[in-house]
Structure formats: C-alpha cells, structure tokens
Structure 1
Amino acid sequence: MQSHAWWQRGVIYQVYPRSFQDSNGDGIGDLEGVRRRLDYLVRLGVDAIWLSPIFPSPMADFGYDIADYCGVDPIFGTLEDFDRLIGEAHARGLKLILDFVPNHTSEAHPWFAESRSSRSSPKRDWYIWRDPAPDGGPPNNWISNFGGSAWSFDEASGQYYHHAFLEQQPDLNWRNPELRAAMADVMRFWLERGVDGFRVDVIWHLIKDAQFRDNPPNPAFGPGQPDINRLLQVHSADQDEVLDVIREMRAVVDGYEDRVLIGEIYLPVERLVAYYGPGLSGVHLPFNFQLILAPWSARAIGRLIDEYERALPPGGWPNWVLGNHDQKRIATRVGAAQARVAAMLLLTLRGTLTIYYGDEIGLADVPVPHELAQDPWERNEPGHGRDPARTPMPWDDSPTGGFTSGRPWLPLNDTTTLNVAAQEADPRSMLALHRALLALRRAHPALAIGGYQGDRTEGDVLVFRRRSADEELLVALNFGPSPVEIPHPGAGAETLLSTHLDRSGPEPAGPLRLRGDEGVVFRLGGELQAARA
C-alpha cells in the first residue's frame, strides 16, 4: 500500500462548506463547523476533505465568484480558522484539498476593476475583451453556462468582456503570462499553508479559441435542455493549448512534497484522459463523472468501466465520482435501494474515489420552491437549479437537523426520518454500509490498489474482480429488484460484505444468490488462488 501515494489509495470526501455545519447561528456552514465534525469524518473512514470555495466573494455564484484568492470570506471565518482546521485535520491523519477557481474571478476582484478602468490598463489583457461584431452585438455566438450570451458590454470602454458563467464572473485570459505567474503565486500561498492539493474548477475552459470563432449548432439539442446545450462548445473550451497551462500548474504542485492536482472536466472519456497530459505531466486526476452521467443499468455501467479502463494512458491512475454540488444526488437518480448498490460499486472500483457529503446517509435532493431558490442558474433557467443537491447536512432529528441554531440558508430534508444520529444507532443503515465499505477497502489491498478485471454482465447483474498479489475478490451487483443467481466462484469462497449488512462467511456449494437490489463482495477461495499461482 505504501508504494502508492496517499491520493491513490485514499478516498476523498467533498464538503460544501455552506451546508455542512454552522457554528455561529447565521444559518450558513463555516470552517469552524467543519472542524467540529472532523471526528465524524475519521469515524466514517475517509482520507481527505475537499472544501468547495471559501474565498472572499460577493456570492453571486456562492463562492465561485472570487474577489480575493488569498483570503477567507467572513461568512466562513478567517485565515486563522483555516489554519486551525488544516492543523487539526492533519493531526487526525486527514488531508485537505482546496477548491481553486482559475477560469474567472468576481467582477468585484481588484484585478477586474483595474482591467475595466481603461483600454490601456496594465491588466486589460488579464481578462478577455473584444470589440463588438459589425452589427454592434456580441463578438461571437458563445453561450453562458447559465443561459444567454457569454458576452457583456462595457459602455465605458466600448468593448465586450467574456464570461463563461454569470456576467458577474468575467473570464481570465490564460494566454497572458503575467496572469499565469500571478495564479502560480496564489497556488503557492495555499501550498505554503499546508493544503494537500487543489481541485481545479472547470479546468477545460481555461484556454479559448485564439480566433474566437462561432460555436456550431448542436444537432442533438432538444426541448427541456439548458440553453448551453444549444451549441457545441468546440471553440469556447477544451483547446489543446490548455495542456501547457496545466503543465505549469502541475510544476507548481510538484514543487511541494506529496500533493495532488485534480481537474474538473465534463468531457467524453477520449478527451478526458488527454488531461493526464503527455508523459503524465497534466493533472494527477482528471475527474471522471461517467457514473453520474450514464444510464443506471448493469450493461451500461459495465461498458463504461471497461471503456474507461482501456482509455487510461500507461501509468494513469483512475478515479470515480458518484455525486457533487452540480448534479442530482445519487439517491434521487437511482432510488434508495439502488443507492446502496451504487455505494458498493463506487467503493470497490479501482482508483481514487470521491464521496459527496450526505451521500453516505442516502440524502436525496430536497425540493426547493422557485421563490426560495438561491442558485443563479435556477433563477435564470427555472428547472435547472442545483439547490436541491446542496441542502444542509441533517445531523439529528431536530427541526434544523443540528446544522444550525438559526434559520438554514436552504430548506432541510425531513430530519425526523433521515439524519446522522439515527443512522449511527442503526447497524444496517446507509451510514453503517459506508463505514463497512471504507473499512473493507482499507483492509484489503486488492480493493485499495489492486487490479480490475470485468467478469460478466448478464441482465441486471454486473460482476467484476479485484486482485492484489495475494488475494482476489469478486464483486457482484444486482441492479434490479428481483433475486438472481450467478455461478459459484469455487471452493473456499466467502462473503465479506453485503449491502444488506446481514450475511458473511463461507458460501455453500451451488449458485450464489443475490437478492433484489443487493451487492456482495466475495473473497475467492484457496483452490482458485492456488490455480492462479
């Protein structure tokens, strides 16, 4: 196990700070709240915390519009609070990964204020400014990810600035070497404070087409899709030159011992793996969202795992994600019963894994009426908001779930039926399953760092093997509600863990039976091990 880096053998837990734990009664989670819950994360069995943005911000996009890259927003606390959090996390053996948002700043950032002040400003070229089109309109047809044009007109200077997201989030010009140097200094600022790496927001957006050509129409665009899908983003993102930028970021991170660089990338697998970079000079982990986006069936999941494993470059370390702050929760996407199967799938796959806060208790999306919506995307394009997946963590059955003594910034789920305290008292709860799966992964190198081999996909059943030098495990997952049978894997096979948390020990001869919505991890027996030897 020690031959692999911590980020290869470990499991990452994403904390959305606004919603994890409020310590001062203002209804918004903060760094002190995260610190108070560190022991919970230790008991859960994760290895690293990824914090979504905590920087000073007007909060137009809840921290993804940064006004100061080297500070902490008062909503979340102070730099001293951050230092205390990272110190206590490290003392407990937990790593801390910080969100880094280099594609854009807030319009309130001093850099943009200076850039906007004059066409001759020294920082004018730190952002993307273009003259109007001949008709006076935007320079091209690029669309904002939140709907509408990706260009806003600045009357004072007579030019448009580009924003891939809100107009309050102007995009930085990563073709400018001074900007790149300034951002490298930002990374060093946090690395010097002890952060163990960065998750880089929308990293595939950093470089745009040098000619600013129009994006072509998307032939698959249809009713109900968000406006951003109307065009194919072939010129506004995912340019080959972005790998040069990422190589520079990687060099900064590699200047410090045992750190990790993770990239947020929503691209098909064949493009995703390009972000490992030539000679693995890119991000250590290009986030793999295939499990979030794929149809939930044994055949579809089995196929995407095999395709991803084949696409990895030599030496590229895989990773898997089931949920995050931008997507519907896994329990909403597949239902409560299959969410347990999904947990076993995630935590038995090869590579680095990320758990989204609340998924370990089966938290589903919480309905948020449009009039209570906080997410700017929901306000711009009703029906596409992300608030339901960002609601506060329910720690107990009180009306505010032990999250806050005040009024929570978003509604909570029905805390009387789903909360951490109740699940801690239930030996077969979703939380108990996650703790058992994480303990199993830590105890078995075959799961933590071993190889992967697809075994079979038949009907609703997906079966694969995980192998280390001295052990072989079989993972069998039933994606359907009806019982199924699979061939017995050989004498000496034993059940290590079921998603139902009610069976273990040697398996009798004959076919192995899986109940509906059940997953099982088997350890294969001595005869098979001897045959392999």
Structure 2
Amino acid sequence: MWYRNAIFYSLDVKVFYDSNGDGIGDLQGVIQKLNYINSIGYGCIWLLPFYPSPKLDNGYDVKDYFNVDPLLGSLDDFSQLIDEASKRGIRIIIDLVINHTSVEHPWFLDAQNSRDSKYRHFYIWDDDPKSDETSIRTRDVREIWEYSEKTNSYYLHEYFKHQADLNLANPEVVSEVIKIMEFWLELGVSGFRIDAAHAVTNPVDVEHIDFGNLHTLFEKMNDLLKEKYPDAILLGEADVPPDELPAYFLSSDGRPRLHMLFNFISNKHTFLAFARNSGITLTKMLGLYHGIEKASYWLNFGRHHDELNLELLSESERKEVLSTFAPDENMRVFSHGIRRRLPPMLNNEIKRMKLFYAVIFGLPGAPLVYYGEEIGMGDDLDLEERNSVRTPMQWSDETNAGFSTCSYEKLYRPVISEGEFSYRKVNVLDQQNHPDSFLSFFCHLIKIRKQNSIISKGNLDVMQPDSEKVAAWSFKYKETLLMAVYNLSSDKIKTSFTTDIIPFRMIPILEDEQYGDEVDLSEFNLNPYGFRWVQIFTKN
C-alpha cells in the first residue's frame, strides 16, 4: 500500500512549465521538471485533466478520454513522462471525470442529433423536466436543464450547461468507464482521482430513471484494479457529511470501493481552527471522522485548484472563516467558497504558514501539496472565479517567472507580477539558494514526514493539554509513539498533558525552532504559533 506513506503533488500541466515557448505548459515541461519534483521528496503526482477539451472548466469538460490535448503534447509524451517519473520512483495518478462530458464530446454530439442515437441514453434527457432546481453544485442561479432544439428536449447538467451529465445507471456507460481506465492503466498510471464522486453517487432525481445505488460503480472499478492492476488506487472527491463517508470506502457487506478520500472534514475545520486561534477546534475535528479511520485512508490538504469550500460548516462557522480569511466579496466564489491561496489568507505570516503545514502533515493519512505551495505562492484576484489560484508556477525572477519564453500577451494565464507575491519576490530559484527559505522548510517537513511512517500506520489518540489554544494528538505503533503538539495562538504557552504515557526516552524530531534536547510533558513550552513533534519510546 504505497500510497499510505506517499507525499502527493498536484499540478496542472497547462501552467506548470512551458517547454516550447508557446505560452502554455506541456507534458515535456513536466518531464523537464521531474528532477525538481524528486528533489523536494514528492512520491506521487496527481495530474489535473490534460485531455482534449474546450477548457471552459479548466479541462474538466472532456471531449476525448483516450488522448492528450495537442496543445499539451501527445500520447508518446505521456508515455515518456510515465517512464521518466518511474525511474525516479515517482508515480502518476490522473483525473477521471465521469460525472459529465463536454457537449463537444462525440457521444453527446450524436445523442443530441437524434432520439434514436446509440448514445442517446448515455445522457439524461427529459421532454418536460419537472425539476425547478438551480445548480446544486455551484450554488449560483443556474437551471440544471438545458433545452436542445434538434430533438425538442432537455438534457441534465448539474454543473455548467457545457457539461452534460452522463447516465451512470446505464451499463453501457459503465462499460465505457472501465475501458477508459484500462487504457490509461496500460500506459502505466498508478490510479485515478475520481472527480466529483459525491455527484456521481447522488444524482438529481429523475422520474424515468432508476439510478439504484451508484456507489456500486466504485466496486466494479475496484474489481478491475484487484484483478489486473493491484498496485493502482482510486482516490475520491466526496465532499459529504461524515455519516455518508463510510459508503465510499466499503459496501455494507464489506466489498471495497475507494482506497482514499480527500479529507474535506479536516480541511474546513483546520481553517476554522486558524480563524479562531483555537486548538480545541482542531482536536474536536478529529472526532468527526476518527470512528471510520480503520476502513479508510485520507488525503489531507490545505488548498488545491478549486475554491476552499465551506459548505458543510454551520452558518455561523462559515461566517467566522469568511470574515477572517475572505473579508472582501471578490475573495469569495459561489457564495460558499474562498478563492485564495493560503499565504495571502494568513497575511504572509511565515510562522503561521509553517504551523498550518505542520498540522496538515501531522494528520492521519497522507499529505497533498498543490503546486507552488512549497514556495508560498499567492493568488491573482483579478482573474475570474477559481482561476485566481491557478496562475503559472514561479520558477525564477526571469521574464514570465521562468515559466515560458513567450511574449507576455501569449501566456495561457498571466503570472503574478506585482505585490509581495510577485515572481520577482517568490520563486523556486531564489529559495533553493537560501537554507532559511520556505522551500527549505517544506523539504525538511517532507523528509521528516517520510521518515515517520508511524503517522500512516499508528493508532491515533487525541491528547488533552490544559490550554484550549493548544491541539495535541499521538500515534502509537508497538512501543513507539509520535506526539504532535500545536499552539494556534499568538501567545507563548507552557502547557502540560493528562496522559498515561510512561516515557523511557523522548526525542524532538520537528519543531518551529529548537527547544533543547530535554522534553518535559509536565512543562511543555510552545512559542507563539509553535509546533513540536516528539518521538517517545515507552517503558512498557
């Protein structure tokens, strides 16, 4: 189970590195930067969609599942990427977008032309849809049925009208999904990130379609992997309440479904804890999913390519997070989300940024890093909606951040060129040359996390410090414990723990700064926004 101790790295080919100077990143650009990726310590790359697409939704509107967008490269380039990554011990997983296709996909083009099309029932049609719902996914005022004049009927789209929903109750569609998976698995991918898994399993109720239990689709996908590709994984995007999560991992009779899920619970509540400067909020968060961890594995993250979605917090909790981290309306998107990267949200306070990632890397599961997080990249709120956090990677202080040699006007998306997050101030090359840089901290954090697999295989126990500003938990495996302690406040704190741990030897392994070799659980010191990981060997 390689994924349990891997460090995941998410990148968008289009904005990572442009190898040929046409203004858009490409697969050859990713290949050229594999040594960098390897040097940081990432073990698995999650590639955002690179399929042929109109790109009206950042590539999540797919029009060909069996090819590479010619602007980004070719299948030969993809095969070379797999080979070169493998030489460095790096795995590749890719997005599998099966909730919908682009309306430019050949299946849909054929389906909308005739009611007798062989692909008609690949999609969801209705002559007189009764639903007056607006888009439940994007939460803006948008109807979910779009009229198609050629057949005088409506097709369903829970997201945007250029993304027609697939009918996953149709066995023929499921068969096509399996074919898509086999195609890319044969090319060497190590698994798939299932886009919008929560939408896949919870479709809009349509009178004439019996969707049944669509969670069983994941069982079929898992069966394929077990039979032919036992080393590959399924990673699901399911932003649902905690009581709905177990069904994504296992069926009621124990059949395996997804191997991993994005940990949206910890994501939202970590930001809530930072908004409150509250350690107890963090430890309460662990209780929300602690009961199902035996059947699950989590991917923990701070930010990624979408908005910070606060939907499952209470209304008052959402207001706390929004007022703290997105006080201006243009920092928000879809009414429930924040379209900012972490450093601007934390006012570029390096101590708090380090604390945040120490928390993420110290949670049960595996950590995910979104490209640019390792150097503290900012955002561009002048860009539309979620594109604010999708600017090109900042490699150096050269023209176009070293991303591309094209003229500025030809860039696929503009680089951040002004303010404290300008590429002239925040870039890889500068930070590689400074041992005290944020990148150096990130490399050290990754190294320590990889050396301590106890986080991925140990039993979690939430500890009880005597200060509500402090969060603490431990992982136990055999006779060894790893204790992670965090001060979310701006105060210097001396705390103690109520615990039955009988330490034989204690070794600090990760700290915001050196506290000395001696560790005393009865007088445990923490700097403002300080953190300490301590390895404890017990007598018993």
What band does the TM-score fall into relative to the shorter chain? 0.7 to 0.9
The reply on whether 1:498 has 2:511 as its aligned counterpart is yes
State the TM-score, normalized to the length of structure 1.
0.85
**How many percent identity over aligned positions?**
29
Query: Which moved further from structure 2: 343-352 or 200-209?
Result: 200-209
Q: Give the deviation of 1:316 after TM superposition.
A: 2.3
Residues 273, 286 of structure 1: 8 Å contact kept: no
Cα offsets for 1:20-68 (capped at 9, x unmatched): 1111222222111111111111111121000000000111112101110
Cα offsets for 1:99-152 (capped at 9, x unmatched): 11011111111000111110111110000111124xxxx644242634311111
- CA distance in 2 between partners of 1:415 and 1:287 (Å): 30
Q: How many matched pairs?
A: 481
The reply on whether 1:257 has 2:230 as its aligned counterpart is yes
Matches within 5 A, 1:77-226: 77-133=73-129, 139-143=131-135, 145-146=137-138, 147=140, 148-207=142-201, 211-212=205-206
- CA distance in 2 between partners of 1:510 and 1:353 (Å): 31
Residues 143, 164 of structure 1: 8 Å contact kept: yes
Structure 1: runs of 5 or more not aligned: 214-234, 379-384
- CA distance in 2 between partners of 1:361 and 1:306 (Å): 32
Residues 122, 173 of structure 2: 8 Å contact kept: yes
* Moved >6 Å (runs of 4+): none
Cα offsets for 1:245-303 (capped at 9, x unmatched): 11112112223131100111111122123210211521111221123322123222211
Q: Give the deviation of 1:210 after TM superposition.
A: 7.5
Q: 1:311 aligns with which of 284, 292, 302?
A: 292
Name the counterpart of 2:311.
Answer: none
Name the counterpart of 2:355.
Answer: 341
Matches within 5 A, 1:351-390: 351-364=365-378, 366-369=379-382, 373=383, 378=384, 385-390=385-390
Residues 31, 76 of structure 1: 8 Å contact kept: yes
Q: 1:273 aligns with which of 246, 258, 268?
A: 246
Name the counterpart of 2:398.
Answer: 398
Q: 1:485 aligns with which of 494, 500, 507?
A: 494
Name the counterpart of 1:511.
Answer: 523
Cα offsets for 1:323-342 (capped at 9, x unmatched): 21002323344443322111
Change (3 A) 1:471 1:114: same
Name the counterpart of 1:15.
Answer: 11
Query: 1:462 is aligned with what amino acid?
Result: A
Q: Give the deviation of 1:207 after TM superposition.
A: 4.6
Name the counterpart of 1:72.
Answer: 68
SS of 2:402's equivalent in the other structure is: coil
Quote the RMSD (CA, aligned, Å): 2.3
Cα offsets for 1:343-385 (capped at 9, x unmatched): 1111122212211111122223x2232xxx3xxxx4xxxxxx1
Change (3 A) 1:508 1:19: same
Residues 49, 96 of structure 1: 8 Å contact kept: yes
SS of 1:199's equivalent in the other structure is: strand
- CA distance in 1 between partners of 2:202 and 2:483 (Å): 45
Name the counterpart of 1:59.
Answer: 55
Query: 1:411 is aligned with what amino acid?
Result: V
- CA distance in 2 between partners of 1:430 and 1:59 (Å): 33
Q: Give the deviation of 1:468 after TM superposition.
A: 2.1
- CA distance in 1 between partners of 2:66 and 2:431 (Å): 38
Structure 2: runs of 5 or more not aligned: 308-339
Q: 2:283 aligns with which of 295, 302, 306?
A: 302
Name the counterpart of 1:330.
Answer: 342
Query: Which moved further from structure 2: 96-105 or 339-348?
Result: 339-348
SS of 2:147's equivalent in the other structure is: strand
Query: 2:244 is aligned with what amino acid?
Result: R
Residues 173, 207 of structure 1: 8 Å contact kept: no
Change (3 A) 1:62 1:165: same
Q: Give the deviation of 1:14 after TM superposition.
A: 0.7
Q: Give the deviation of 1:430 after TM superposition.
A: 2.0
Cα offsets for 1:194-233 (capped at 9, x unmatched): 10000010012125558527xxxxxxxxxxxxxxxxxxxx
Cα offsets for 1:295-329 (capped at 9, x unmatched): 123222211112211233x4322332222100232
Residues 496, 521 of structure 2: 8 Å contact kept: no
Change (3 A) 1:142 1:483: same
Name the counterpart of 1:286.
Answer: 261
Query: 2:531 is aligned with what amino acid?
Result: G
The reply on whether 1:26 has 2:6 as its aligned counterpart is no
Name the counterpart of 2:330.
Answer: none
- CA distance in 1 between partners of 2:36 and 2:442 (Å): 13
Change (3 A) 1:19 1:280: farther
Residues 203, 264 of structure 1: 8 Å contact kept: yes
Residues 375, 428 of structure 2: 8 Å contact kept: yes
